[in-house]
Each structure stands twice: as structure tokens, then as C-alpha cells.
A and B are shown apart, each in its own frame.
Chain A
Amino acid sequence: MNQRRAFGLAVLFACVLGATGCALSPQLGKLPLGPVTAQPKLELTETPFFPQEIHQCGPAALATVLNADHVPVTPDALASEIYIPGREGALQAELLAAVRTHQRVAVRLAPRLEALLSPLSEQRPVLLLQNLGLKSLPAWHYAVIVGWDASANEIILRSGSKKRERLSLARFLQTWDLGERWAVVIADPTAPPPIAVTAHDWIAAVAPLEALKQNDRALTAYESAAQRWPGDALVWQALANARYAQRDLSGAEKALDAAVAIDADPAALNNLAQVRIERGCRADALAALDQIAEVPPTLAATIADTRTAAVALPAGSDAVCR
């Protein structure tokens, strides 16, 4: 009995570590993955490599993806931006913030294998978080995916001190699953968005630029988003906010008209009313506010302020508005 229990425990450990193939092991070549079907073997061999110094996989991995996107920066320089001595590591949030200070954005990838691998087809390596330990005893590690080989069923990474680490798909997926499937792709906000990202994730990556006084770059990023995803209301709302910040009121109103036509969202209607107030259009501002079907509690105060401002406008100034 004892022996059987020990054996069971050992098998469990072995499975957890991927030392044996006791689970059904997924095959890269057999999964319905667009990028892999198109190119069964792909490796971005030009991706630079920075061997990790002790504990500093964050700066090394980040330097890898930034240099791959033509941002010349060393792991040492990045360490002062993201490394935390007391944690012997780097936090995801600080990593994202550091990317923004280097004129790029880090866009979250959907937690699916296809989304994770797609950027490589565009010559973009992918930065990801792995958990090399156990769920209850994690060992967090940043690495960069630079390729795959369907015939060997392997994922190829720049990882730690290894320039070319080859992990079986099963082992790779295990470390990525335990890392909560976190992965980002680096992109230039002034260039068209990567193919594999969603509108929401693109906007979420770009929005913090506005607070960093990089409004021009945010505006360009939203404009390319509006071309890529013209049917997405959030994209038009973001574009409107960036135009508004540059005092382009008529441009902001046009974008908000487009957003509201897709979805009569209370925030969009509030912002449309605000823009119309600033254009001196009382009746139109009130018309936008009246379209709000149900005021969400979190926006109640904002919408009430907007209405007060609209009502306070002198009546009869609407002639210029149409």
C-alpha cells in the first residue's frame, strides 16, 4: 500500500513536471493553428539574445523584444526601470510601463495558443510569463518565444541563459498555463496594430500614453485602430477622446457619432453631449443625454454634471450647430 502510494505520488510529480508523457500530449502539427499550418517550421533567428544575469530574466527578456523591434536598450539599463531587489524579479505592470517609456506599447495577447504564436508570422517575437514551478510553489520566469517546429513538436525560446531553448509543446503549455497564460507583443503605436491582437487589447495598451503626454502617438494608434476595426464602438470613443484632447471638437464629435451609431453607450453619449456643450450646442447636447437609456451608478455624477452644464448654456445659440 505504502509502495503504491509512493509510486502514485511519484507519477503525479512526474506529470506535474512534464517529465513523462502520461497526459494526452498535444501535437503542434495536428492542432488547428493558422500560423503553424502556414509555416510548420518557423524561427526568428535574427532575434537578439541577452543571457540572463542572476534573477534578471525580466530585463533580459524585455531587452530581447525591444531590440527585436529596433529599440536599442540593454538589460542593465532596463534593470533600473523594472528590477526589484527585494523580490529578485520584475513585476508585469512595471514591465508594461517600461515599454511605454521606450516609444513602444506592450499589447496583451488573448490566452489562446493561436494568438500566442500569430505574431511570429509577422516577425514579432512574443514575451511571456512562465511558471516553472508548481501552482502552489511558483517559480516565475520571463522568456521570449522565437519559433516553433511542428515536426519536433517543440516551441523555441530565448530563455534565461539559453539562447535556444527547445520545449516540448506539452511542457511549454504547462508552464504557460501555470503562468496564467500571460503574454504580450511589442508594437510601435504609430504603426498598424499587430494582426493577432483585439481592438480592446490595442486600446488598453495605448490609452496610458495619453497620461504620459504622448497624445500624438495615442491619436495615431487610435486612427489605425479605426481603420482596422471600424465596427468597434470603443475604438471610436478612444479616437474621440484623443481628438478632444487636441481641441479638435468637430473631429471628436464625428468619432462619437460613429461610436453611438454602433452602440448607444452611456459614456459615449455623455462625451458626445460634453463635446456639443463646448461647441455651444445646447439642444444637441441635451438630445444626446436624453438618449441614455439607463444611467449606470458609476457614471451618475458625471452625467449629472454634464446635464447641468448643458442646461446652463444660453438657449437659442444652436443655429451654428447644424
Chain B
Amino acid sequence: MGNKRSLISGVVIAAMLAVSSWVPANAAMVSTEQLVNADAGHVREARVAQIQGFLARADVKQQLVAWGVAPDVADARVAKLSDSELEQLAMNIDQQPAGAGLIWVVGLVFIILIVLELVGVTHIFSRF
């Protein structure tokens, strides 16, 4: 427990240090990404957003690695995500649609056709 807590505080401190080096002297400008996200209804104070972004990056990377993406590839991939994409993924990456294939759909359609046949709605197979 204590270990976990110190790990978390370590990560947060590292995040803050990293953020403070990112935040340029012109931190008072509101960025275009912030503006676009504000329209979507989830604007946050800029610095909070940056710290959350840092943590989100780590979360998403960890999940990609768990799903079989090589760690160095996962790093490069996460670096390409925008803040809002990261935020979206960090919230519910495991519930996001992952476009895949049709294999099981073909099976499902077949089963349903058989069901329709059995209850007498269709007569596709009886013709053969």
C-alpha cells in the first residue's frame, strides 16, 4: 500500500517536473486544442490538463503493451496522439470500438438464417 502510494506520488511529481519544463513562458495563451475541446464541453484548466495528459499517456501506453504492442512501438504511437484523443482513450480504451473483421459476423448470420429456417419464416435451405 505504502509502496503504491509512493509510486503514485513519484509519478505525479515526475509529471509536474516534466510539465513545468514544457510550459513555456507564454503559458498564458489558450491553445487551439483547448479551444476545440472547450466546444466539446470538457475544457480544463491548462496546467491540470497537461498533468492529466502526462498520466494519460502512461496509461494508454501501458494498455497498448498489455495488448501485445511492443513497448518502443507503443511509445512512438502514444506520442502521436493529440491531447483529446489521449484523454478519450485514457477514459475508456477497453470500451472503444476496434474495427476488426467479419469472421464471426458471417457465422452469426448463418446461425440466424438457420433459426429462421427452423421456425418456418424462410425456406432457403429446403430448396436444395
Contact = CB atoms under 8 A, between A and B. Distances in A.
Interface of A: 3, 6-7, 10-11, 13-14, 17, 19, 52, 54-58, 61, 80-82, 84-94, 96-98, 100-101, 129, 131-133, 138-142, 160, 179, 200, 203-204, 207-208, 210-212, 234, 237-238, 241-242, 244, 267, 270-271, 274, 277-278, 296, 298-302, 305-306, 309
A87 B67 contact: yes
Nearest to B96: A91
Given A160-B101, A203-B36, A210-B33, A7 B47 contact: no
Main secondary structure of the interface of A (DSSP, over half): helix
B77 to A, nearest CB: 6
27 contacts: A6-B119, A10-B119, A14-B116, A19-B113, A52-B101, A80-B73, A84-B67, A84-B68, A86-B67, A89-B99, A90-B100, A94-B77, A94-B80, A96-B85, A101-B80, A133-B104, A139-B105, A203-B36, A207-B36, A241-B31, A267-B35, A274-B28, A298-B38, A300-B45, A302-B45, A302-B46, A305-B27
Given A6-B119, A142-B99, A208-B33, A84 B69 contact: yes
Given A141-B99, A267-B38, A298-B43, A94 B30 contact: no
Given A101-B80, A270-B28, A84 B98 contact: yes
Given A55-B101, A299-B30, A7 B109 contact: no
A242 B31 CA distance: 9
Contacts of B45: 298-302
B97 interface: yes
B99 A58 contact: yes
